[in-house]
Amino acid sequence: MSKYPCGLIEDLIPLYIDNDISIESKEIVEDHLKDCKNCNSLVKEYSNDELKLDGFIEDLPQANTFKKWMKRLKIWGLITIIIITFGAIAIGVVGYKIGEKPKNDLLTLNTIVKNFEKQGLPLKEDNSKSPDNYILSKVKPAIYSIGKNKDTLLVYTFKSFVEREDIVKAATVNNPYSFQEIRYNAKNTLLVYITSQIPKTGAQMKSFSEIKGLISKIVFKYLNDGKEIIFKGESTSWSGTFTLKYYEHWWQDETGLIKYESYKDQYPVINYKMSDKEAVGPINFEYKTTTGGGNSIGLELNKDGYLNIASGNSNGALPRKNEDIKFTIKWNGKEENIVLKSQ
């Protein structure tokens, strides 16, 4: 299976068809096409399309031209990437990787502190701890106290996505962190949340959960530019919702290899629409996306007729907004399927 996401390959396909592509990128596309039917179909569509980059004329979409318009949007997306890349070279910006934005998009310590403060979780510089005790490959963190319990937040700021990835991976085997400490990747930075004590009481657990949840929200939404897509659909007896929260970044390392980082949370929910909710027995549920899926058996509805399936978070490829999510629900000897579409 190709290690590059379809979204990246789709942007390279127009250049691949026109043979206006480097040997390395051409090999990447051809390797991906060996196993990807969707991208192969896109190559055929582009090859047969009369629309060419040189003769592009912008117009408004007509009733039967939505598909072609979407292709044009992809091409304009490619043009934008080219303009940004050459613009960076023209002003003498050296060392930035493909997939990274100009320097002002890289996170700074000041940006992180301001975002935490805006979300009601101010950081206070902690001079009682020495940064020398938390060095990662010569990079020292800024150290802050955080929350009512004066927990600790370490903030490492790296020069690029690449440096952060390389250093953090190298520190995985020998690192100063214990199981109590929680790491958060945020673009070119690494944040480490260290609890002042292991929660033992209900109040302590509540405080810990609140701070951890707020840190996760700040990192996801405000530092990593997190996004959300909601898919919905219905069948005769059921309605379904699939919420996808994610972020993703692309960059190129020093060897020219394009790398990809993503994070996603997935929340499938179904609701029984009929009136005989009490008669619904154990439910077997399955969902499928273009990038994976999941299943659960023996589930029970709550009193309102809803079933919240266990959610999960992971890295890797993501369902896209133009794709469908499929639910299969089995109960009381019956079966229904739902096709969910993005809203």
Distance (Å, whole) CA 330 – CA 235? 12
CB 89 within 8 A of CB 96: no
pLDDT at 24: 66
Q: What DSSP state is assigned to residue 172?
A: S
pLDDT at 1: 55
pLDDT at 208: 85
pLDDT at 319: 87
Distance (Å, whole) CA 9 – CA 23? 14
Q: Where are the alpha helices (DSSP H) in the chain?
A: 6-17, 23-33, 37-48, 66-90, 109-118, 161-170, 202-217
Q: What DSSP state is assigned to residue 43?
A: H
Dihedral sign for Cα 189, 88, 72, 61, please: positive
Delimit the domains of the chain by residue range. Answer: 6-90, 103-223, 227-342
pLDDT at 103: 39
Q: What is the dihedral of CA 326, 292, 231, 215, to 10 degrees?
A: 150
Just give the CATH number of 227-342.
2.60.40
pLDDT at 46: 62
pLDDT at 152: 93
pLDDT at 19: 67
**Burial class, 309, CB count within 10 angstroms (exposed 0-12 / middle 13-18 / buried 19+):** buried
Q: If you write DSSP's letter for every residue of 123-159 in order, what string do you get?
A: EEE-TTS-GGGG-BTTBPPEEEEETTTTEEEEEEE-S
Residues in the chain: 343
Q: Residue 165 phi/psi, 5° resolution?
A: -60, -45
pLDDT at 233: 97
The class of domain 103-223 in CATH terms is: alpha beta
pLDDT at 231: 97
List per-block mean pLDDT (blocks of 10 residues) for the chain, which spans 343 residues. 68 70 74 82 62 38 40 44 38 36 69 95 94 91 88 92 84 52 91 87 85 93 94 96 90 76 89 92 91 88 85 76 94 96 94
Q: How far apart are the first and last CA of the chain?
A: 30
Helix (H, G, I), strand (E, B) or coil at 105: helix
- Cα–Cα nearest to 249, from 293, 188, 291, 290: 188
pLDDT at 2: 60
Q: What DSSP state is assigned to residue 38?
A: H
Q: Residue 77 phi/psi, 5° resolution?
A: -60, -40
